[in-house]
Amino acid sequence: MIHYQDRWAVVTGASSGLGRGLAARLAERGMSLVLTGRNEARLEEAALEIRFAAPRVKVETVAADLATQSGVSALIDHVGDRPIEVLVNNAGFGSYGAFAEADPDREDEEIAVDVSAVVTLARAFLPGMIERRSGGILNIASTISFQPAPYQAVYGASKAFVLSFSQALWAEARAAGVAVTALCPGPTRTGFVDALRADVAHTAIYSRLAEPGPVIEAGLRGLDKGRAVVIPGLRNWLVAQTARFTPREWMTLITARLLGAGKKVGRPSIVVRNEILIPAPAERLWDLLTDVESWPSWYRACRWVHVESTDSAGRVTSFRWKAHPVELFSTVVASNRPHTFTINAKGLGVFAARKFTFRPAADGLSTVVVSDETQVGPLPWFGRAFVARRLHASNQTMFEDLARAAGREVATQATPAAA
């Protein structure tokens, strides 16, 4: 059992991201904090923010580099003999690229922070928790823990260690009422991607990032319940389960594809282009396409649409919808009336980028509407041949429905995809 009120917690990597959010949530529960991070200015900023939000708790900071033994020792010495009820091992960073081309010093630092510091701090504080028969350790692992990770070999192996280490400690400590939980989020909007020192936006794995709030809440709920492993999000859970039942060689090759797409492969999974000539002005067609709430009335593949957010002018900025069996969350990333309308959509196993372009036809009365769509992810990769054909047909149906909604007869010209 964990007692939060008027107890002490140690949070590493607390200057930003998940560490900062977890520290704030622990302070809300009445815990005093010892925070550590490399960047002293950002660490003090985090501490000031927490003190302002939770004035009753004490917040102390230790600017230290946990890649060094002296940094880890400085944190342990600062804590002294005070009892630590919760340890959050959040500090860590990753690298990206072929192992043979990596900077050896950076890889050594990565192992020191992601592995050695986790072990040393657990050794420092777990015995006291077991003796008092209360407390908990939250170790931040990753969904990358569940399979080898080409192009992130050291980071993936480090997080696999954290997962295995946490599960072992969970079994050893649970009889004493002490919780040890491995939190395994997918890519999250925390600054981690920027710290990779590499452009990974081209990869299927890092093309979309989850918000940190739900990850933080899931981790703390799991710790409260004494769970050994927490995997936030259905998609992440499915990835982890797939890794359990897929032959290791296959899973490694799949991960190499997802992490290396665009670097080694050079082509997205599916590219589809549709084109139609509609005897209607661009303004009218632009209005129809951007009025997403009207889609169920004219787009036959669309079952429903829920608008999630709008801007100050009432224009839709994000929406959730269902096309065929897949539920998608879409964000409007560009809107240039009446020339282009661009959306990104993500769903279970798929990420799609789609741009609609409107250009006047030669007769001056009609409009040529073009859709360029790219899909990446496990769903289009595994079902490439079937999904590409189905996607092109569905998009052409959408255009025909668009033409009918504009109230005009249509002559179509379709350009099938080159995937």
> CATH number of the domain that 328 lies in?
3.30.530.20
pLDDT in tens for each of the 419 residues of the chain? 899 999 999 999 998 889 999 999 999 999 999 999 999 999 999 999 999 999 999 999 999 999 999 999 999 999 999 999 999 999 988 888 888 888 999 999 999 999 999 999 999 999 999 999 999 999 999 999 998 888 889 999 999 999 999 999 999 999 999 999 999 998 888 777 777 767 676 677 777 788 888 999 999 999 999 999 999 988 888 888 887 777 778 778 878 878 875 444 444 578 899 999 999 999 999 999 999 998 988 888 888 999 999 988 888 999 999 987 789 999 999 889 999 999 999 988 788 899 999 999 988 889 999 999 988 877 776 666 677 788 888 899 999 999 999 874 444 444 444 44
CB 165 within 8 A of CB 139: yes
Cα separation of 319 and 43, whole Å?
36
pLDDT at 381: 67
Do 249 and 312 fall into the same domain? no
pLDDT at 87: 97
CB 392 within 8 A of CB 411: no
Total number of domains in the chain? 2
Residue 75 backbone phi and psi in degrees, to 5 = -65, -45
Strands (E) in 65-107, as ranges, are: 84-89
Using alpha carbons, list the distances in angstroms from residue 72 to 11, 42, 253: 13, 19, 37
Strands (E) in 237-278, as ranges, are: 270-278
Please name the residue that has the structure tokens 């919808």. 321
Domain closes at, from 260, 295, 315? 260
| Domain assignment of residue 174, yes or no | yes
Do 355 and 283 fall into the same domain? yes
| Domain assignment of residue 368, yes or no | yes
| Domain assignment of residue 238, yes or no | yes
pLDDT at 413: 40
Do 55 and 197 fall into the same domain? yes
Do 156 and 206 fall into the same domain? yes
| Domain assignment of residue 265, yes or no | no
| Domain assignment of residue 2, yes or no | no
Domain closes at, from 221, 242, 260? 260
Start-end of H helices in 116-180: 117-132, 153-173
Do 25 and 63 fall into the same domain? yes
| Domain assignment of residue 133, yes or no | yes
Domain closes at, from 200, 235, 260? 260
Output the pTM of the full model.
Answer: 0.62
4 is catalytic: no
Identified catalytic residue from 96, 155, 206, 299: 155
Which residue segment(s) compose the domain that 215 sits in? 8-260
> CATH number of the domain that 211 lies in?
3.40.50.720
